[in-house]
Structure 1
Amino acid sequence: MLEQRLSRRALLQAGMISAVGLLAAACQPKVAEKPAEKEGQAEKEVTQASEQPVAAPSEKITLRLGKFAGDAWDFDAIWAEKFMEENPHITVQIEDVVYAEMFKKGLAQGATGLVWDVFAGHNRWSPYLAWKGICLQLDDFIETHDIEFDDFFPSVIADVRLAVDDKLFYLPTVVHPGGNGVVGFNMDLLNDAGVSLPEGAIEGDWTIMDWEEIIRGAAKPGEIWGVQLDGMAQPHYASQVTRTWGLPEGGPGAGGSTEDSWLQSYDGRTLQLGDEFPRVKAALEWYYNLGLEGYRPTDIDLQQLEGVDLFTAGKMVSRGGTVGQPETWRARIGDTFEPLYVPWPKGPDGSRGSCLSYNTMAVYAKTKHPEEACLLAARLTSPEPALYAGTEGTLHCMARRSAWFSEKLWSRPASGKAMEFAAHWFDSGIDPYPMPYNVRAQEVQDAFTQHITPYWNGDENWEEMVSHAQPAIQKILDEPRP
C-alpha cells in the first residue's frame, strides 16, 4: 500500500506553525535551482544562511527518533541535538535500536501504531515497510522545501524510487558502491614474493586476472592466505562480484553491467542461478575455486582462528572491503606491515561490478507532527552530517555529492585515494541493489545465506548448490507484495 503521503495543503498548514530558526534556512521553500557542481571541484562549503528571528510557537512538540545503537551512528544523536538547539520548542527523544532488530521492530510497531516519528533503516527492508504503509511519502515535502535534494547522487535516488513505484518514502544516508569496493594489499608479502601490482591499479586500471595472478604468486596455502571478500553469503555483495563478469555497457542499471551477469534479474522476479547464466556461474566459481585450492579461508578456518582478522594480522595477501574499511584496518595494522588500497578491479570483459547499499531515514506515515518530523529527517541527512559520517565517524559519507567530493574525505590517510575514486564512481552511476519485485529482500537474503554457505565452505559443488538454492529462493521471489 503506497498511499501514505503528506498532502501539500496539510504540509503548508503544518508549516505555518513550524519552527524556522537555522533549520528553516537549510530547509527553506525552494526559490531557484542551484547550478550543478563542476566535475572534480574541491570540497563544497557547507553553511547555513541566517534568517530573521521567528517567534517559536507555544506548542511544545516531542519527536521520537529510532536510530541504530552504537558509536558508529553517533552523527544521528549529534545532529538531533543541533536540531533541538535550532528549534527550542521541539524535543527529540532518541531511542537506540540494535541494527539487526530494526526491521522487525518497525513491523511490530507498525501493527500497533507505535512507530517512531523518524527512524533509520536499510534499503534492504525499507521498501517493505513502505509497501506496508509505515513510511510517509516525502515527494511533496521535497517539492516545497530546499533541502539541497539535487546534491544526492542520481543513481542512489533512482534506487530509492525503484521498488516503490517511483515515489520517495525515505532519504538515503551512509552509502557505498559495493560491499568490496576496495581491495587492500599487504605490500610486505608482495615484495617478499617478488610480486607487484599493475602500474595503474591505484587508479582502478587493473583486472580480476591480475588479482588472481598476484594471489597465486604471493600466497602460500596453509601458511599465507591469498584473499577474503566480505559478505559473499549476501545477495548484494555477491551481486557486485557477478556483475564484474558482465559486459561493461548496455545493462539496465546506471553502472552499465549487462543483465546476464546479475544474480537477480532487473525486474526482481527471477533468480539467475544455474548453467543457463554462465557469467554468474563463472564469477561464483572463481571465488569457490580459490577456497577449494586453499587460497581463501572457509567459515571453518575462520572459526578455528577465534576472531583473528587474517589481513590486519599480516597473514593474508589481499582483502576486499567497503571503501571506508581501510580507516578501521589502519588502526589495527599499525606498523605491522605496509598496506596499499586500490579500487575493485574490472572483470574479464571490462566491467567493474557495482551494487548500491545504503541506509535510510524515514518518517512514520501516521506521525502527529509530519512537518516537524520531515524537517528532522532532512536535518539528519543534510550536508553536514553527510560529510561527518565519512570523515569524523567510522562509516561512509552519506549519499551527497558534496560529501564524497570533499577534499577532507580525499585526504584521509588510509582511504583517501579510494574515496576519491569512489566519488567519481558514484558520479558515473552505480548499479542498483538486487531488490525483489515483491520487496521481500530480507527473506531472500536469509535464504541465500542458508543455501550458498555450504558451497562457499566446499561442502557442495556448483550443481549440488544450485539444485536446492534456485528453487528455494525463486519460491520467495514468486510470492506477492506485502
Structure 2
Amino acid sequence: MRRQITTAIALVGLTAGLAACGSADSGSSDEVTVNWWTWDERQAASYEKCLPGFEEENPGITVNISQYGVEDYFTKLTAGFVAGTAPDAFQNSVPLLGEYAGQGQIMPLDDLIEETGYDLSVFDIGVDSWKYTDGKQYGIPLDWAASAIYFNTAMVEDAGLTAEDIRTMTWNPDDGGTFDDVVAHLTVDANGVRGDEPGFDKDDVATYGINSLTANDYNGQVTWSSFVSTLGWRLGGEDAAWPTRIPYDDPELVETLEYVRSLGDRGFMPDFGEFTVSGAEQMGSGSVAIVQGGTWDATTITKIPDVEVEVAPTVEGPEGRMMISNSNANNVFAGTEHVDETWKWVTYMGSEACQSTAGADATFLPSIGSALQETIDTQAEDGLDLSSFVQILEDGEIYPTPPLAHGQEIADTIQPMFEAYFTGQRDKDVFPEMATKSEAILSE
C-alpha cells in the first residue's frame, strides 16, 4: 500500500447516481455499467476526467467510480468476493496479488491482451510486478510511487544552509553523513538552541529536523527504506519476486534501524506516535523542517499556505541512491459479467491519453513515460519542480516491491513488532524473530 490513512473516508460516488457493486446494469438492456473502485480520493477525482473521452469512444458503456478509505477498502473487496458483488475492476497493491490470484478472485489477463493486441511495452514500470507464480499477467499498471524529501525553504535558509545542501545529503550508518549534520542543525529547542549546539534540550524541542522515520509498516517505503537500500539491502533478499524469507536480520537493516532510532533518542525527530497528523500539517505548523514522504504528497505539501516548500531526492548512501517503489495496478474481478466492457475501461485507463489527462494534477505518477513527462511539465507551469521524480526513474534508483505469497499476513505480523522496537519495548533482538516469522508465513 502506498500509504496508511488513519481515518476512514466515506464512499464517494463520482458519476451520476449511486455506484453499485458487482456487475449490475443500469438503464436499458443495451447499456452496461462498469464499476471501478479505488482507495484514493484524489485519484478518483483525477480519473473522473477520463470518463468523457472513454464514454464517447464506447457508447453504451457507463463507468461508475467509487472510492473508499483504505481502512475499509480491502474489507469491502473481500466481502464482495464472497458475495459475488465485487466491482468489475479495481485498483490493487502488489502485496495482495498473491492472495487474490491464489484464491481465483482476479482474472489472468493474457488471453485478453493477446485477443485485443494490447501493448504492455507502453509502460516504463510496473508490468513484471503483476505476474503471479503461474507466469500470467494479472494487473495493468496504473502508477508508481517512491519517497521524496520536502523541506521548509525559510527554515533551511535561517539555519545558514542552502537548497543544494538538502539535495545532496549523504548518509551512512556509522556517523550519519551530512544528513545527520543537517537534521541536527535544523532541530531547534524551545530556547532557540540548535541540535548541534551546546545546551540543546532534547526533551523540549520546538522544531524537529525531520519527521518521524519510525514507520510501523513492514517495508519502510517512505521512511527507512531509502536509507537501508543504499547499503544494498532488498526486501526480498536475492529474490526479486515471491521470496520465501524477508532478511530482517541482515546486519545492514539492523544497523540502519539502530541509527534511525538514535535520531529520536537525540531529539532530532519525533518519537513514534508523537504526532498523529500528516507530514504536511507538521510542516505547516512549524513542527518539522524536513518531511520525508511519498511522491504522491508533492502537490499537497508544496501548497501549504504561507510556507514555501521545495522538493529534494532522498539521501545518497555508500552504494548511491536507492529506494523501494510500489506499482499499483488494475485487477479485473473473476466474477464480472461484463468482461469485454470492463477490459475496455481498464485498457483505456492504461492508455497514454487517460494517463496524461488524469496524471496532469500529479495525484499519482503515471506508469507510462510520456504521460509522466506530461505530469512534470504541467506541474512546472504551476511552479512545482518534480523533475527529480523522473530522474530517479531514469537513473534506476528504485527497485520494485516484490510480490509476496501472504502479503497481508506479513503486514499484520510484522507491523506490531516494528512498533515495539521503535517504542523501546523491544531491542534489536526482535529482528531475527521477524525474519523467522516471515519465513514461516512465506513458506506456507
TM bin, normalised by shorter chain, reads 0.7 to 0.9
- Give the conservation status (yes or no) of the 8 Å contact 1:291–1:457: no
Is it true that 1:448 corresponds to 2:414 in the alignment?
Answer: yes
Number of the residue aligned with 2:185: 217
State which of 316, 321, 324 in structure 2 corresponds to 1:352: 321
Number of the residue aligned with 2:20: none
Residues 291 and 405 of structure 1, relative CA distance in 2, 3 Å threshold: same
2:331 counterpart letter in structure 1: A
Residues 246 and 106 of structure 1, relative CA distance in 2, 3 Å threshold: closer
Number of the residue aligned with 1:120: 91
Residues 99 and 82 of structure 1, relative CA distance in 2, 3 Å threshold: farther
State which of 241, 249, 255 in structure 2 corresponds to 1:282: 255
Is it true that 1:328 corresponds to 2:300 in the alignment?
Answer: yes
Unaligned 5+ residue runs, structure 2? 1-27, 172-176, 189-201
Number of the residue aligned with 1:54: none
Number of the residue aligned with 1:269: 244
SS class of match (2:182): helix
Per-residue CA deviations over 1:302-350 (Å, capped at 9, x if unaligned) read 15x8998322222322110122323201222x223x4332111211x13
Residues 186 and 89 of structure 1, relative CA distance in 2, 3 Å threshold: closer
State which of 394, 414, 433 in structure 2 corresponds to 1:427: 394
Number of the residue aligned with 2:313: 343
Per-residue CA deviations over 1:10-33 (Å, capped at 9, x if unaligned) read xxxxxxxxxxxxxxxxxxxxxxxx
Is it true that 1:383 corresponds to 2:349 in the alignment?
Answer: no
TM-score by length of 2: 0.78
SS class of match (1:159): helix
1:207 counterpart letter in structure 2: T
Q: What is the alpha-carbon distance in structure 2 between the residues aligned to residue 133 and residue 186 of structure 1?
A: 48
- Give the conservation status (yes or no) of the 8 Å contact 2:207–2:288: yes
Per-residue CA deviations over 1:208-251 (Å, capped at 9, x if unaligned) read 2221110112212422201125672222335973464456xxxx
2:130 counterpart letter in structure 1: V
State which of 121, 146, 152 in structure 2 corresponds to 1:186: 152
Percent identity of paired positions between Structure 1 and Structure 2: 19
Is it true that 1:476 corresponds to 2:444 in the alignment?
Answer: no
Q: CA deviation at 1:374?
A: 0.7
Q: What is the alpha-carbon distance in structure 2 between the residues aligned to residue 380 and residue 306 of structure 1?
A: 29
Q: CA deviation at 1:129?
A: 1.0
SS class of match (1:317): strand
Per-residue CA deviations over 1:349-408 (Å, capped at 9, x if unaligned) read 133222121322121223222222111111123223323444325x21221111222252
Q: What is the alpha-carbon distance in structure 1 between the residues aligned to residue 422 and residue 281 of structure 2?
A: 18
RMSD of the TM alignment (CA)?
3.0
- Give the conservation status (yes or no) of the 8 Å contact 1:174–1:398: yes
Number of the residue aligned with 1:236: 219
SS class of match (1:431): strand
SS class of match (1:215): helix
Is it true that 1:293 corresponds to 2:259 in the alignment?
Answer: no
Q: What is the alpha-carbon distance in structure 2 between the residues aligned to residue 306 and residue 206 of structure 1?
A: 24
Q: CA deviation at 1:459?
A: 3.6
Q: What is the alpha-carbon distance in structure 1 between the residues aligned to residue 39 and residue 421 of structure 2?
A: 32
Per-residue CA deviations over 1:431-468 (Å, capped at 9, x if unaligned) read 120432x2x112211222211112223343322x3365
State which of 76, 79, 83 in structure 2 corresponds to 1:108: 79
SS class of match (2:105): coil
Residues 210 and 86 of structure 1, relative CA distance in 2, 3 Å threshold: same
Q: CA deviation at 1:81?
A: 4.6
Matches within 5 A, 1:59-138: 59-68=30-39, 70-138=41-109
Q: What is the alpha-carbon distance in structure 2 between the residues aligned to residue 453 and residue 280 of structure 1?
A: 16
Q: What is the alpha-carbon distance in structure 1 between the residues aligned to residue 225 and residue 67 of structure 2?
A: 36
State which of 123, 132, 141 in structure 2 corresponds to 1:172: 141
- Give the conservation status (yes or no) of the 8 Å contact 1:107–1:129: no
- Give the conservation status (yes or no) of the 8 Å contact 1:246–1:351: no
Number of the residue aligned with 1:158: 128
Q: What is the alpha-carbon distance in structure 2 between the residues aligned to residue 67 and residue 79 of structure 1?
A: 15
Unaligned 5+ residue runs, structure 1? 1-56, 248-256
SS class of match (2:400): coil
Per-residue CA deviations over 1:263-292 (Å, capped at 9, x if unaligned) read 442252112123xx1111122122111011
Q: What is the alpha-carbon distance in structure 2 between the residues aligned to residue 409 and residue 286 of structure 1?
A: 39
Q: What is the alpha-carbon distance in structure 2 between the residues aligned to residue 425 and residue 306 of structure 1?
A: 25
Q: What is the alpha-carbon distance in structure 1 between the residues aligned to residue 367 and residue 98 of structure 2?
A: 18
SS class of match (1:236): coil
State which of 285, 288, 297 in structure 2 corresponds to 1:316: 288
Number of the residue aligned with 1:13: none
Number of the residue aligned with 2:428: 462
Q: What is the alpha-carbon distance in structure 2 between the residues aligned to residue 91 and residue 262 of structure 1?
A: 43
Number of the residue aligned with 2:340: 371
Structure 1 or 2: more strand by fraction: 2
- Give the conservation status (yes or no) of the 8 Å contact 2:186–2:209: yes
- Give the conservation status (yes or no) of the 8 Å contact 2:279–2:291: no
SS class of match (1:299): coil
Q: What is the alpha-carbon distance in structure 2 between the residues aligned to residue 441 and residue 466 of structure 1?
A: 18
Q: What is the alpha-carbon distance in structure 2 between the residues aligned to residue 184 and residue 212 of structure 1?
A: 16
Decide which moves more: 123-132 or 88-97: 88-97
- Give the conservation status (yes or no) of the 8 Å contact 2:245–2:438: no
Residues 118 and 206 of structure 1, relative CA distance in 2, 3 Å threshold: same
- Give the conservation status (yes or no) of the 8 Å contact 2:213–2:223: no
State which of 152, 159, 170 in structure 2 corresponds to 1:207: 170
- Give the conservation status (yes or no) of the 8 Å contact 1:182–1:344: yes
Q: What is the alpha-carbon distance in structure 2 between the residues aligned to residue 288 and residue 224 of structure 1?
A: 18
- Residue correspondences, number: 392
1:292 counterpart letter in structure 2: D
- Give the conservation status (yes or no) of the 8 Å contact 1:292–1:458: no
